[in-house]
Structure 1
Amino acid sequence: MPMSSITAAAPDLPTAASPVVTADRFLAGMRLFASGCAIVAARHGTDRAGLTATALCSVTADPPQLLVCVNRKVRAHALISDSRALSVNVLANSHEPVAKRFAGMVEGVAAEDRFLGSDWGTAITGAPILKDALFSFDCRVVETIPTSTHSLFLCTVVDAVVADPDATPLLYFNGRFAAVS
């Protein structure tokens, strides 16, 4: 079938101005998509910040690249933008308390205090790296794509460290942390 026939047969397709799904319905569906959990962290000068993230994915293996999505309102966004570097620290089930701290789920824990209680080092790019993560990627940002409330950071992986390949990964599903059983 010629392309023009397909286009002509679908005049009722939604546009960006008229989404078919409400934000609440979209979020309800995404809550049921189990995701691995990671701490995305950055440093600029002596300032460091991080967040618990599930919005990341592999882009290519050659060259190794990741896509990391970060809300522009969080403190880490400015540090990533300024330093042009970040780490992605994939969490084991034992890291649930760390995930909760970096997700802002622990009352009274200031941004810098989120790093307390865990063993952090410094990656090649200068980004903070969680020493006992399942594995960590050290990344340089090669492109920033602003979209709605977030920025998509396209990153080249400059180093990868595997700490414990046999640990059980931490997942996020339906608004709760979970482990693979």
Structure 2
Amino acid sequence: MSEASNFRDAMSLLTTAVNVVTTAGAAGEHGFTASAVCSVSDSPPTLLVCMNQSSRSHTHFVDNNVLSVNVLGAHHEHLSNVFASKLDSDERFTHGAWHTLITGAPVLDDALVSFDCEIEQVQAVGTHSIFICRVVAISQTDRHAEGGNGSGESLVYFNRRYHPVGQVRQIDMA
């Protein structure tokens, strides 16, 4: 087994949140499913997003220089699969309801939380680019709003499968 295969197998045991990362601008509207997203700093609010350089939308993210990280809820498994598929960008955005914040990157209406960002740095490491992104706006879904998911469960990826995490339990004190 190759070193890369061993590494991928080991990484499959690292539980990660599932996100749809989007961009829009002169280079068009694009998006992909990502698990390699994490906080860098809260002052200033900064995220790190990793993207394969061979991805067909990589240059569009670099050219637009903005992105939105949409953290998916357990009810978004289908959307995760859509943005990981070979569908073209126009088809991908017909799934889900979208709006924009400051940068113009698409923000998923019912994401658990969305981070609207400007890409401040791009660092090439191996096969991937690391985007260092300054957060310029945040949109959080009201998990208890009528008609919403209500559970607030997050969609995570572990051992090459999706799992819901964070079920809110109601305790009856009567």
CA distance in 1, matches of 2:27, 2:129: 23
CA distance in 1, matches of 2:20, 2:142: 16
The one-letter code matched in structure 2 to 1:133 is A
Q: Is the 2:49–2:130 contact (alpha carbons within 8 Å) kept by the matching residues of 1?
A: yes
Residue 30 (structure 1) aligns with: 11
Deviation track 1:33-57 (CA, whole Å, cap 9, x = no partner) reads 1110000101123721111100011
Residue 50 (structure 1) aligns with: 31
Gaps of 5+ in 2: 144-150, 168-174
CA distance in 1, matches of 2:125, 2:27: 29
Residue 169 (structure 1) aligns with: 154
Could you tell me the TM-score, scaled by structure 1's length?
0.82
Q: Secondary structure at the match of 2:5?
A: helix
Offset of 1:62 from its aligned partner? 0.7
The one-letter code matched in structure 2 to 1:173 is F
CA distance in 2, matches of 1:164, 1:92: 12
Q: Is the 1:67–1:153 contact (alpha carbons within 8 Å) kept by the matching residues of 2?
A: yes
Q: Is the 1:71–1:149 contact (alpha carbons within 8 Å) kept by the matching residues of 2?
A: yes
Residue 118 (structure 1) aligns with: 96
CA distance in 2, matches of 1:178, 1:58: 22
Gaps of 5+ in 1: 1-20
The one-letter code matched in structure 1 to 2:99 is G
Q: Is the 2:66–2:103 contact (alpha carbons within 8 Å) kept by the matching residues of 1?
A: yes
The Cα RMSD (Å) is: 1.6
Residue 108 (structure 2) aligns with: 130
The one of 106, 109, 127 aligned to 1:149: 127
CA distance in 2, matches of 1:31, 1:70: 17
| 2:47 maps to 1:66 | yes
Q: Is the 2:27–2:64 contact (alpha carbons within 8 Å) kept by the matching residues of 1?
A: no
Q: Secondary structure at the match of 1:44?
A: coil
Deviation track 1:136-164 (CA, whole Å, cap 9, x = no partner) reads 00000111101111110001000011014
| 2:66 maps to 1:85 | yes
CA distance in 1, matches of 2:21, 2:142: 18
